[in-house]
Amino acid sequence: MQRSSDELEMETIAEKLNYLSIRRQQLHDRYIILTMLRDFRHQTDPGMTDMRGEAEIEAIQKELDILSVKKKDLLEKQERPNLTQQRTGSSHDISHSPDPMKTAKEDFGICYIETPPDVPAPKVITDVEELPPYPAKTQCPYCHAFVTTEITHTVGPVVWLVCAMSFLVGCVAGCCLLPFCINNFKDVNHKCPKCRSFIHTVKKL
């Protein structure tokens, strides 16, 4: 079956627009992920700057602008009633017509989105009651900033209990006071490094 050059060109434009839409969606998704990571870094550490991430965001914005121009041109061509004038002479067989998908890939280039890093994203603990006995990422309930908490250790009931048990088993030469020097027996206080507010105490008992 033979088709006119206009039909072939319309098919080529349709394939290009389809490929263009997929590429734009990939770039848009990547842009959202990068901007979210950038905002999270700024909230946790305002002084930290990821130059590589900023450069990639800028490159994506430029490529999206270029693709927008190409999409506009293709839509204008698609809306024309006659893309090319009627050619005289014998019609061309479809086997000699250009491959639309191949042409689209040559025009726009094949680009693969990088896979996410193997390292999992840092977990943000929103419930301060679930904070662990070590520095953790959370949202300060006072200044509402996303921070990594600072911790301090204070003497709690466990320290006194271990001290009393050590005294009862015969550690009377000062060894019973060792629990006061070991942080594993102490309670953990979480503080916000930005507003210096007390957030939560993780008790050992």
SS3 130: helix
Q: CA separation (Å) from 145 to 42, 46, 47, 126, 187?
A: 10, 11, 14, 11, 24
| pTM tops 0.75, yes or no | no
Domain boundaries, the chain: 5-108, 124-202
Q: Cβ distance 111 to 19 under 8 Å?
A: no
Beta strand 198-202 with 187-191 is antiparallel
pLDDT digits (tens, 9 = 90+) for 134-165: 999 999 999 988 999 999 999 999 999 998 88
SS3 170: coil
pLDDT digits (tens, 9 = 90+) for 18-65: 888 888 888 888 888 888 877 777 777 766 667 777 888 888 888 888
Residue 202 pairs with which residues in a beta bridge?
A: 188
